[in-house]
Amino acid sequence: MKNQKIQNKEQRTKNIDHRLHDTDYRPKTIIQSTLPIKILALGSLFLTLLCSPAFAGEASKPDTGDTAWILISAALVMLMTPGLALFYGGMVRRKNVLGTIMHSFIAIAIISLQWILIGYSLSFGPDVSGFIGSLEWLGLNGVGLEPSPYAPTVPHLAFMIYQGMFAVITPALISGAFAERMKFSAYVLFIILWSTLVYDPVAHWIWGGGWLSKLGVVDFAGGLVVHVTSGISALAAALIIGHRKGYLRDSMTPHNLPMTVMGTGILWFGWFGFNAGSALSSGGLSTMAFVTTHIGAVAATVTWIIIEWMHRGKPTMFGAATGSIAGLATITPAAGFVGPMPALAIGIAAGCICYLALNSKTKLGYDDSLDAFGVHGVGGIIGSIGVGLFASSAINGVNGLFYGNSQQLFNQLMGIVAVALYSFVLCVIILKVVDALVGLRVDERSEEQGLDITMHGEEGYFL
């Protein structure tokens, strides 16, 4: 009896198993009726996942880390212009301190407006014949939160404002050449015209896909676009405007070196955003640019102090401040193309050659009041040549002469000549136009009294 029950149980198990595997026995109508629903459900799930942020075009979505770094860098570069105001302000005589500071400060407001309205479109707008950007982005039309065509991991607006801070400080650098003698009205008109006719086209040539970039000229953070344009224009301005009243006769020593040193520190701090931010991302390239920037600056500072000590018998604070800015300006075009040891060599070259340039201006007969040409023009040229010598593709895709590519040195020399000639000629023309419209220089009485009182009706100190 017991054996019979076991046999019956085994038979029922076999029957159930047979039915589960028998396609003829399965309830086809239920499966057939639910199959379309299952397909629709799976399709909906796939589309939902495809359209979700995790699956939707990561390459075209701004990266939060890169965006944060670019915005921080923009703030750092913006801080450089007030730093420049202090650097220059301490170097002039006390009767001109506010007028000199005003040159840098007003550039923030005026050139920011110029950049927003037309400058950005001329510099980075769609290319027109390799020379200038189109007016497609006039007034920031079409410039929004979508990824930038120049930096696909950051919003277009972030790239725009970052580049705008470069445009702001560049004409302010030129003001060092004509400090203590230029009309404020002439300065305002000059920087508007100069930014539109010199800075914007050159920025497009090299950074906006223009003719120099197509010929292989590279500039990581502005050796050509910022320092050569401003430095060569400073030389043109010094020659056209002429020397200060009493130059080489009266004492014109800096009135407040602590102010200059504070400005130097702020500039040095901001320069990390200037150079490392030019990587347009937060990663290995920005790290290398950050490190080489500091190495170039300290190498130039120490070199300058040693030469000055040997030449004049004493190391000066003024020399240390000037040497550090020379090193920072010189490493700018190379910061993202060279390694630490080449950066050291570039910094040493900056200390030597810029020191020589500053000490030669009296022999050459021009009055570059605050050494804008000797520091920025000469420094930008040295650094651009340094790219042609020391650039390494292991760092940023370009090899220089010492890595087997002599063509890059030729490219850099060609870029230097083109930018220097264009900047000089256009600056002379602009100065002549401004002189005809409003006059360039203050009168002798105003120059003797100082620009603080005569141009702005206020004084920097009440002592």
pLDDT at 99: 98
Q: 3-class DSSP state for residue 152?
A: coil
Instruction: Give the pTM.
Output: 0.87
At residue 304, does pLDDT exceed 70? yes
pLDDT per residue as tens digits for the range 169-228? 999 999 999 999 999 999 999 999 999 999 999 999 999 999 999 999 999 999 999 999
Residues 40, 175: one domain?
no
pLDDT at 462: 81
Q: Where residue 463 falls among pLDDT bands split at 50, 70, 90?
A: low
**Under 8 Å between Cβ of 243 and 224:** no
Residues 30, 95: one domain?
no
Q: Cα dihedral angle (212, 217, 221, 225), rounded to 10 degrees?
A: -40
- Confirm whether 126 is domain-assigned: yes
Those residues whose C-beta lies under 8 Å from the C-beta of residue 444, and which sit 6 or more positions away, are 245
pLDDT at 444: 96
pLDDT at 362: 87
At residue 13, does pLDDT exceed 90? no
Between 15-24, 175-184, 452-461, the lowest mean confidence (pLDDT) is in 15-24
Residues 76, 38: one domain?
no
Residues 179, 36: one domain?
no
Between 19-23, 144-148, 157-161, the lowest mean confidence (pLDDT) is in 19-23
Report the mean per-residue pLDDT for the chain: 91
At residue 396, does pLDDT exceed 80? yes
Q: Cα dihedral angle (403, 409, 415, 421), rounded to 10 degrees?
A: 150
Residues 35, 140: one domain?
no
- Confirm whether 192 is domain-assigned: yes
More confident residue, 11 or 386: 386
At residue 27, does pLDDT exceed 60? no
Q: What is the mean pLDDT of residues 371-389?
A: 99
Between 174-183, 246-255, 268-277, 385-394, the lowest mean confidence (pLDDT) is in 246-255
Query: Percent of the chain, pLDDT > 90?
Result: 85
Residues 31, 133: one domain?
no
Write out the residue range of the structural domain in which residue 408 sits. Answer: 66-456
pLDDT at 54: 37
Q: What is the mean pLDDT of residues 165-171?
A: 99
Residues 44, 116: one domain?
no
Residues 230, 98: one domain?
yes
pLDDT at 251: 86
Those residues whose C-beta lies under 8 Å from the C-beta of residue 175, and which sit 6 or more positions away, are 88, 100, 103, 104, 107, 182, 187, 372
CA 225 and chain centroid, separation:
9
Residues 43, 144: one domain?
no
**Under 8 Å between Cβ of 131 and 201:** yes
More confident residue, 40 or 357: 357
pLDDT at 33: 43
- Confirm whether 462 is domain-assigned: no
Q: What is the mean pLDDT of residues 280-309?
A: 98
Q: What is the mean pLDDT of residues 47-55?
A: 39
Task: Please provide the DSSP assignment of 207-263 as one string.
Answer: HSS-HHHHTT---SSSIIIIIIHHHHHHHHHHHHH-PPTTTTTS----S-HHHHHHH
Among candidate residues 27, 51, 75, the one where a domain is terminated:
51
At residue 16, does pLDDT exceed 90? no
pLDDT per residue as tens digits for the range 399-436? 999 999 999 999 999 999 999 999 999 999 999 999 99
Lookup: tokens for 47: 């589309």
pLDDT at 60: 65
pLDDT at 142: 96
pLDDT at 6: 44
Q: What is the mean pLDDT of residues 150-170?
A: 99
- Confirm whether 279 is domain-assigned: yes
* Dihedral angle sign, alpha carbons of residues 114, 231, 429, 412: negative
Listed residue (332, 313, 125, 122) closest to 221, CA to CA: 332
CATH of the domain at 430: 1.10.3430.10
**Under 8 Å between Cβ of 355 and 323:** yes
Residues 104, 243: one domain?
yes
Q: Where residue 61 falls among pLDDT bands split at 50, 70, 90?
A: confident
**Under 8 Å between Cβ of 325 and 375:** yes
pLDDT per residue as tens digits for the range 438-448? 999 999 999 99
What domain count does the chain have? 2
Those residues whose C-beta lies under 8 Å from the C-beta of residue 441, and which sit 6 or more positions away, are 181, 182, 183, 186, 241, 242, 447
Residues 17, 71: one domain?
no
Nearest-angstrom CA–CA distance, 329 and 224:
10
pLDDT at 30: 37
pLDDT at 248: 86
Q: What is the mean pLDDT of residues 161-174?
A: 99
- Confirm whether 182 is domain-assigned: yes
Between 7-11, 102-106, 399-403, 454-458, the lowest mean confidence (pLDDT) is in 7-11
Q: What is the mean pLDDT of residues 84-111?
A: 98
Between 60-64, 118-122, 153-157, 349-353, the lowest mean confidence (pLDDT) is in 60-64
Residues 31, 106: one domain?
no
